[in-house]
Amino acid sequence: MVLAAVVAVLSLVAVAAVMAFAFAGSVAPAWITYTALYGLPVAFILMLLLVLDGVAARRRAGRAQQR
């Protein structure tokens, strides 16, 4: 969960940097643009996997208590 949050924050910082470069009239480096473009979807996928893992863990815990 911490990894997904870190990726999301870094991606948002990269988006802000790209916007700052654009406001200044220059072009952001490719690695910053790449981070801004692909960082948030990666963070959302990691969060989705964490949610699905939590649901599966609850189901496994619920079945063990019923026995």
Q: pLDDT band at residue 26, thresholds of 50, 70 and 90?
A: very high
Domain boundaries, the chain: 2-66
Using CA atoms, how far residue 14 sits from 11, 31, 37, 53, 65, in Å, is 5, 9, 9, 29, 46
The per-residue pLDDT for range 53-67, each reduced to its tens digit, is 999 999 888 776 665
User: Is-above-0.75 flag for pTM?
Assistant: no
